[in-house]
Structure 1
């Protein structure tokens, strides 16, 4: 996806006024929307802390008595080790790389705007779900627009997001599984899931779970890796049967060894007139040269990050445009828009009469 060079617009835009009280931990009132992911019952908070925002405690289901720890200001509904462990490793190593506030360019902001289609007025003072927040690149954008954000991630990337964003606005951090969301149905007026669904065991089920917690009249935006015959030339799909068997740590060590050799080759190949942009996909490293307005050091850092990102996930399941549109239709969404902008992107509105 090519990014326009409009960093000047990014620099001139005045930030929205943030809420007067910036919180570092989970707010007690967030319990109102939380539910037990096992039985969907309400939760009670057990803690010795008296402040409105809580760093440590236990969430106990009022029906099935299941318990979930609240540690480091994060409610945790999944085991520490899970199939997304590699993403936790990735986003804690590259915790600031893709934040616009760190790169100095509106790369995440542009993608957020293009993919969601939401205006600043749509986000101001609205409850927004960031499903699969990683280190918080898109949550940062939503916060800047004045949204109240609930950021979730399956992996311990949630801790990187908290470190990055806990002082930037009204946000709660929750470690949870998209396929077992700890929220009441019909909760969120706005929800987005960018760069995530293809990395879940069953993307169609993951979408359906997200659709259920969007409020009637609410909006959902998602993207997926494009499926198509051209993927046979994408060398990452040749090597993934091997690299996905490695631990995240071993995979990263291997990337560190190979990247310095292959990245310069990718740069040379990528500069071949007309064909270079396509031929570089035959080399198993990422190369964003000419795509993003980053300096050479940043280009290399982004490329190293996303090389690891393409080698290590347990799941990488591209989807067709028809499948993406079908998810929205089967969940009863209206005003559905699908398009190709780097990824396949879909968004729609849940009917006001829907109570899925």
Structure 2
């Protein structure tokens, strides 16, 4: 019963990236964490494989990648990302003690209004699901049996690592992973209650296009969009990182202008050194 409710939530939200049709069907097994089969579009007959909880909405390949995005495709990067970098990142960027518990606390507090009802949440460019997993845990604790957290990333290696973490932590039941492009989300309009983006805004090839897509799928008023990203470093550091990795950095005024251009409105904003945390709504 609970599994079917989560599948229903998923199918009501999916949109075919080929024809934008919103009538997708599922054939296969969707029980517990054993989820394998095919998602197919009734409008254009496009088919998207689902294997062990990961659905591939880029079956013919992904868009051109920056160097930063390319390194995320490597199994080694996926393996060490959270263990060696992610849990220390905010302390390094902010210049103060910023442990994971503090970061996740801010995330869950920001999204708290969205947990009042069942629905869909999105971990945007999820990497190892660092944000999606605590969201799923909160939903399970609240008994949200028709709720689902979707983790989207271009990297299959990252999605596999995210799935492994979720299985170990016992939250995979409330999660599903999609290999997809954040600038062309396979989701219908106003279907997502909450979006969490942890650091990836600096890595997008077209940040404005991605934010506009988030605005499109976010539910008006009730929906919340939590964004954590790095602010502009010193010029010499910015030049080196941008040339090597295809990264983009923002000052706070430029960041705010980007949100406004995407049609998103600030709920709260706080900067800690070179770390920016912004909560937005549609």
Q: Under TM normalisation by the shorter chain, which class is it?
A: 0.7 to 0.9
**Offset, 1:174:** 1.4
The runs of 5 or more residues in structure 2 that have no matched partner are 88-96, 141-147
TM-score by length of 1: 0.61
TM-score by length of 2: 0.75
Output aligned runs, 1:102-251, within 5 Å.
Answer: 107-114=99-106, 117-118=109-110, 122-123=114-115, 126=118, 127-146=120-139, 148-156=148-156, 157-166=158-167, 167-168=170-171, 169-217=173-221, 218-227=223-232, 230-232=234-236, 234=237, 237-238=239-240, 241=243, 244=244
After superposition, give the CA deviation of every residue in 1:153-201 in whole Å (9 maximum; x if it has no partner).
1211111101110332511211111001011111112111111121111
For the aligned residue pairs, the C-alpha RMSD in angstroms reads 3.2
After superposition, give the CA deviation of every residue in 1:228-262 in whole Å (9 maximum; x if it has no partner).
5x232x2x743764xx4xxxxxxxxxxxxxxxxxx
Count of residues in correspondence between the two structures: 250
Output aligned runs, 1:6-155, within 5 Å.
Answer: 28-29=7-8, 30-45=10-25, 47-49=27-29, 51=31, 55-79=35-59, 83=65, 84-89=69-74, 90-94=76-80, 97=83, 107-114=99-106, 117-118=109-110, 122-123=114-115, 126=118, 127-146=120-139, 148-155=148-155
Output aligned runs, 1:264-303, within 5 Å.
Answer: none
**Offset, 1:45:** 3.5
User: Who is 1:6 aligned against?
Assistant: none
* Higher share of residues assigned strand: 2
Q: Find runs of 4+ consecutive structure 1 residues off by over 4 angstroms.
A: 50-54, 79-82, 119-122
User: Who is 1:343 aligned against?
Assistant: 275
Larger Cα Rg: Structure 1 or Structure 2?
A: 1
**Offset, 1:86:** 1.7
The runs of 5 or more residues in structure 1 that have no matched partner are 1-19, 245-312, 351-356
Inter-CA distance 337–121: structure 2 relative to 1 (3 Å threshold): closer
